[in-house]
Structure 1
Amino acid sequence: MPTLFRFIATLAILAGLAFGAMFALATFVEPTPREMSVVIPASKLQPGGK
């Protein structure tokens, strides 16, 4: 059973590191807002798609 315990402990440590990295990214990285424009074809604006 020591190998199973070592495997589970390794998975738990890796999961903790992944969670910590995601938490750090969500906390410390601020997105930069910027303007966005999307071109919509005229055929999409017409009723009935004609």
Structure 2
Amino acid sequence: MPSLIRLLVVLGLIGGVVYGTLWAFANLVEPHTREMSVNVPADRFAK
């Protein structure tokens, strides 16, 4: 039984680290905005 508890604790810690990392990337990292232009060929409008 102690090995089951140890496994659950380790999996919980790994899950917590992954969740915390994803939360940090989602909330603390700001994306760089930049202007973008795409050339669309004229034959794409004819369809």
TM class by shorter chain equals: 0.7 to 0.9
Unaligned runs of 5+ in 2: none
Work out which structure has the larger RCO, using CA pairs closer than 8 Å and 6 or more positions apart in sequence: 1
- The CA RMSD over aligned residues, in Å, is 1.2
Across the two proteins, how many residue pairs are aligned to each other? Answer: 47
Identity %: 40
Structure 1 segments, 4+ long, off by >2 Å, are none
Task: Structure 1: give runs of 5+ residues left out of the alignment.
Answer: none
TM-score, normalisation: structure 1: 0.75
| Higher helix residue share | 1
